[in-house]
Structure 1
Amino acid sequence: MVTPTPYHLLSPRTIVTKIISMKQQEPEPPKIILQPRHRTSPAMWCAAIVCFAFSVLLILVGLVILIVFLTVKPRTPSFDVAHAALNSVYIGSPPPYFNGDMTLTANISNPNHKIGVVIHSGAIELFFRGRLVSAQALPSFAQRRGQFTVLNVHMLSSQVVLPPEVAVELLNQMKSNKILYTIRGTFKVRERFWSWHYTYRMTAICDLELTAPPSGFLVDRRCTTST
């Protein structure tokens, strides 16, 4: 092993040469390469301006729709059964089948004070214990603001096959003078406000309680409307 000569025993020239040699052996620091800056093209600026303008337009349209909605306050038309008469009910066998005759008067009201409505594709269905026993299509009609329409509907049932347990339930209700039916009305409603139109589906459900025929009359009803 060779012992290095101490610096104080070396000549100045040797010391300087040694320092220069050590400097040359040191690793160079990494060079930082700066990437050249790219200027944004005019097409990119145009695309950004168009996107910004479109976003502002959407916000303005949304605000206008919200203001109109809060000003107009659109409401769904209401449906109610004002009168019903059960004229006849007949159950034949075998198998159990059902014949029936019912007339009812329904009211459809437009509660809006600023919007007219058009009601079309309407139909009323009659159910007993969840079984469809009669159906009737309705003509289309328009209603002005705050107007109501009276509909006279004749529900006829002919040779409707019933499960035995449902037929027995109907006979028992006739004996107790308390017959329970369900009316379902489905409508396509279009609301009109100036040139603005909005279309949606409306469903009305009414549970009816009637006395037995031939002079069966409406005792109670409960109606709900949904969209």
Structure 2
Amino acid sequence: MPLPEPPSLYSTPDPHSRATTPVRPSRHIMMTPTHIQAQTPTQTQTPDYLYESFPKTRNRLLLRNHRRTDPAIWCCAIVCLIFSILIILFGITTLIIFLVIKPKNPVFDTNHANLNVIYIDSPGNFNGDFTFTANFTNPNRKLNVRFEYAALELYFENSVIAKQTIKPFSQRQRETGTVQLHFISSLVSLPMNHVMELRRQVQSNKVMYIVKGRFRVRVSFGLIHFTYWLRSQCELQMSSPPSGNLMARRCTTRR
């Protein structure tokens, strides 16, 4: 049997039927790139003269926002620069002096000491008489040394039993000087364990004393001067009084 004809998109009006509205086909149109390009709205193009004037406008804004530097800031910067240059020059000069002159610390030593008296009152008051010869040596060949401050203390164990100070004095290159010191102890309170140890050492004929010194030294080289502190210590082994002589010693000096 023959197939029926497909329905027409547009129906033919039937004279015997009611008026019908024609059916419109749906518009499914495939968009091509040409259509898309055609339907895309035209982009607004910036005129060339705006690009040419933009750098000038930016420069004007930068110049307008730029502020002048405060003169006080310039003064501070100049002072800091000068101060830095002076520090560098001083450091270089000091380095040259140390490399060329090779300064050495003065030496503190002794070769003679006497322990004359040791007497202990109850309850633990110490009395003593001790003489000490201090030797000071300037080992430098081009530097003069001056001891502006010198203080020495006499110790037994870790207790101070006498003190002495020395007047300021100077030493030339490679010069050695001696100073006689007389330490007198009167009613110095000592702990009981130190008193017992001192009595034991006196009986064994080996009394251990310590002399500690603190010095402020000024070194001169022409117009150049610099000052520093020295600490010295001498450990002494003495025989028992009244004829207490120096039996052994060990002295050190450091900054």
User: Shorter chain as normaliser: what TM range?
Assistant: 0.7 to 0.9
Q: Distance in 2 between matches of 1:159 and 1:54?
A: 56
CA distance in 2, matches of 1:20, 1:61: 81
Aligned to 1:113: 141
CA distance in 2, matches of 1:124, 1:55: 40
Which one of the candidate residues 228, 231, 234 is aligned to 1:203? 231
2:112 corresponds in structure 1 to 83
Match of 1:66 among 87, 92, 95: 95
- Counting only pairs closer than 5 Å after superposition, residues 179-218 of structure 1 correspond to structure 2 as 179-218=207-246
> Share of identical aligned residues, percent?
37
User: Does the alignment pair 1:101 with 2:129?
Assistant: yes
> Aligned pairs, how many?
215
2: CA distance between counterparts of 1:7 and 1:183?
Answer: 110
- Alpha-carbon distance between aligned partners in 1 of 2:212 and 2:220, rounded to the nearest angstrom: 25
* Structure showing the higher strand proportion among its residues: 1
Tell me, yes or no, if structure 1 residue 151 matches structure 2 residue 176. no
Query: Which of residues 144, 152, 156 is equivalent to 1:128?
Result: 156
CA distance in 1, matches of 2:194, 2:81: 65
Once the two structures are TM-superposed, the CA of residue 78 in structure 1 deviates from its matched residue by: 0.5
State whether structure 2 residue 67 is matched by structure 1 residue 3.
Answer: no
Scaled by the length of structure 1, the TM-score of the pair is: 0.81
Change (3 A) 1:196 1:22: same
- TM superposition shift of 1:65: 2.4
Residue number in structure 2 paired with 1:167: 195
Please name the residue that 2:19 is paired with.
Answer: none
Quick one: which amino acid aligns to residue 3 of structure 1? H
How far has the Cα of 1:149 moved from its partner? Answer: 1.3
Tell me, which stretches of 5 or more residues in structure 1 are unaligned? Answer: none
- Give the Cα separation in 1 of the matches to 2:110 and 2:169: 18
CA 1:91/1:2 → structure 2, altered by over 3 Å: closer, same or farther? farther
Q: Find the structure with the greater CA-based Rg.
A: 2
Which has the higher relative contact order, 1 or 2, with Cα contacts under 8 A spaced 6 or more apart? Answer: 1
What CA distance in whole angstroms lies between the structure 2 residues aligned with 1:173 and 1:193?
48
* Partner AA of 1:130 in structure 2: N
Tell me the CA shift for residue 67 of structure 1.
1.3
SS in 2 for 1:24: coil
Residues 101 and 147 of structure 1: is their aligned pair in 2 closer, same or farther, counting only changes over 3 Å?
A: same
Q: In structure 2, what is the equivalent of residue 24 of structure 1?
A: 42
Q: C-alpha displacement at 1:205, in angstroms?
A: 0.6
Answer with 84-93 or 19-28: which moved more. Answer: 19-28
Q: Distance in 2 between matches of 1:196 and 1:4?
A: 102
Residues 90, 55 of structure 1: CA spacing in aligned structure 2 closer, same or farther, 3 A cutoff? closer
RMSD, matched Cα: 3.3
**Residues 127 and 115 from structure 1, CA distance in 2 versus in 1: closer, same or farther, beyond 3 angstroms?**
same
Deviation at 1:144, TM superposition (A): 0.9
- The superposition leaves residues 84-112 of structure 1 with CA deviations (integer Å, 9 ceiling, x where unpaired) of 0001111111x111110011111011111
Unaligned stretches of 5+ residues in structure 2? 1-25
CA distance in 1, matches of 2:117, 2:31: 131
